[in-house]
Amino acid sequence: MGPAGVVIVIIREDLIREDVLKETPTMLRYKTHADAKSLYNTPPAYGIYICGKVFKWLKNLGGLEAMKKINEKKAAILYDFLDQSKMFHGTVVEKDRSLMNVPFVTGNEELDALFVKESKAAGFENLKGHRSVGGMRASIYNAMPLEGVEKLVSFMRDFEEKHTTQAD
């Protein structure tokens, strides 16, 4: 919803109580914040401002359901390509796939490195996979537009056509 440091809690009134474990720090007691009208400590004003911008953006898109549909469509475009590709392969079984992070490989570390290098030259950022896993990872969080995923898949398709003999 926003930058690190912002915490938003939506809680039922009956859960805001005095009778919490005595070891619970004051800062972690919901009643402390409720009684102070969320001003017990200095609020992260900039983070709250950014959250407001995100909320308005989401509302203008049509809300959370609309964002979910957009994210599902973006993920489907990328996973559909990976599922039919002769070069690229997803690394996560279908039932465990993420809508936000899509890891994939070619099966050839040199080809993976070449893909990362060429994709960066083409304007794609941060496709190199996690250092402990390798391969590539496309992060397609909410702010990534559908067009960005379509351009990535187009680039991957072109890369595959250009380098098919290396994958064999």
DSSP alpha helix (H) spans, 3-145? 30-35, 45-61, 64-84, 109-121
126 phi-psi bin (left φ>0, alpha ψ -120 to 50, beta other): left
Residue 91 has what pLDDT? 94
Of 2-16, 42-56, 105-119, where does mean pLDDT reach its minimum?
Answer: 2-16
Residue 135 has what pLDDT? 95
- Say which residues have a Cβ less than 8 Å from residue 114's Cβ, sequence separation at least 6: 163, 166
17-62 pLDDT per residue, tens: 989 999 999 989 999 999 999 889 888 889 999 999 999 999 999 9
The helix-helix angle for 45-61 and 64-84 (nearest 10°) equals 80
> In this model, does residue 2 exceed pLDDT 90?
no
Retrieve residue 106's tokens: 């070619």
Question: Considering the entire predicted model, what is its pTM?
Answer: 0.81
- What is the tally of helices (H) and strands (E) in the chain? 5, 3
Domains of the chain: 13-61 (no CATH), 64-167 (3.90.1150.10)
69-110 pLDDT per residue, tens: 999 999 999 999 999 999 999 999 999 999 999 999 999 999
Residue 121 has what pLDDT? 97
Residue 6 has what pLDDT? 87
> In this model, does residue 167 exceed pLDDT 80?
no
127-159 pLDDT per residue, tens: 999 888 889 999 999 999 999 999 999 999 999
Residue 166 has what pLDDT? 55
Phi, psi of 90 (to 5 degrees): -70, 150
Question: How confident is residue 5, by pLDDT bands cut at 50, 70 and 90?
Answer: confident
Residue with tokens 């930058």: 3
Retrieve residue 93's tokens: 């079984």
